[in-house]
Amino acid sequence: MTDQSHRPEKSGQDQDMQVQKRPADDSVTLIACHECDTLHQLPALHPGQTLRCRTCNAVLMRYPKGGLDRPIALYLGAAIFFIFANAFPFLTLDIQGREEMTTLFGASSALYHAGMGELAVVVLITSLLGPALIISSSLYVLIGVRSGRILPGMRTMLSWIGHLEPWGMLDVFMLGVLVSFVKLAGMATIHIGISLYAFNGLILVAAAAASAFEPHLLWHKIGYRREVVNAGH
């Protein structure tokens, strides 16, 4: 058996665990350090613990305090903000008595009709499709693991979440909106809609949800549950 050493738990800090290198064995789950490639046996973690490499002390896995309930709650909040951000007007421009209202989807549509099809597709993916897929996929995997079930396509979704994250550029889109505000301030009167406030809330909650999302922990739990199910058959 592999020896596991626990550092004394400090007040206000997560408890760290270090694991020793173990020979490959089909009966145990191994994890490779992303810094030094050392293989370690993966022990059972509890909320608030952090698994570190014994060779280089790199963080291998975290089990956030609150378990999976915290990221589930945060992603549910992000989903609510996302719905509000797309259901109401984003902003309204008043140009010499003529009002032009737009939504998030309307921004992509306006770019497309203005002859900037490539930019319209990028805005659509980074501000709508990317965040929607990240939120829905994360909730699907988290709720499945939390309920103790292996849902159809769970592994595929978990593997794709990491590829989708770079396409969720909510903060970059917001910076573009702020630049537009500065340029249009002297040309039109800008009325901020409910959608813009919801979009700001979405940025904050989505960032908190991403920080609480631990894919290594989810892979471990999915793999463990799959082994139990297979053993039962």
- List, for residues 62-83, the tens digit of each pLDDT value: 777 767 888 999 999 999 999 9
Mean pLDDT over the full length of the chain? 75
**For residues 105 and 128, is the Cβ–Cβ distance under 8 A?**
yes
Cα 206–Cα 208–Cα 210 angle in degrees, nearest 5: 70
Which of 2-11, 144-153, 200-209 is predicted with the least confidence, judged by mean pLDDT? 2-11
**For residues 2 and 19, is the Cβ–Cβ distance under 8 A?**
yes
Q: What is the pLDDT of residue 76?
A: 96
**For residues 40 and 54, is the Cβ–Cβ distance under 8 A?**
yes
Tell whether the torsion through CA atoms of 125, 131, 136 and 139 is positive or negative. positive
**For residues 36 and 58, is the Cβ–Cβ distance under 8 A?**
yes
Q: What is the pLDDT of residue 28?
A: 56
Q: What is the pLDDT of residue 124?
A: 87
Q: Which of 226, 181, 22 is nearest to 90 (CA)?
A: 181
- Give the range with max mean pLDDT: 83-97, 135-149, 157-171: 135-149
User: Of 172 and 144, which is predicted with more confidence?
Assistant: 144
The structural domains of the chain, with segments of one domain joined by +, span 4-63, 69-220
Contacts with 32 (C-beta within 8 Å, 6 or more apart), sequence order: 38, 39, 40
**For residues 41 and 13, is the Cβ–Cβ distance under 8 A?**
no
Q: What is the pLDDT of residue 74?
A: 94
Rg value, the chain, Cα: 23
**For residues 62 and 50, is the Cβ–Cβ distance under 8 A?**
yes
Q: How many residues are given for the chain?
A: 233
Please state the pTM of the whole predicted model: 0.70
Cα 74–Cα 173–Cα 125 angle in degrees, nearest 5: 80
Per-residue pLDDT tens for 119-154? Answer: 888 888 888 888 999 999 999 999 988 888 877 888
Paired with 191 in beta bridges are 92
Q: What is the pLDDT of residue 173?
A: 79
159: Cα within 13 Å, side-chain hemisphere: 4
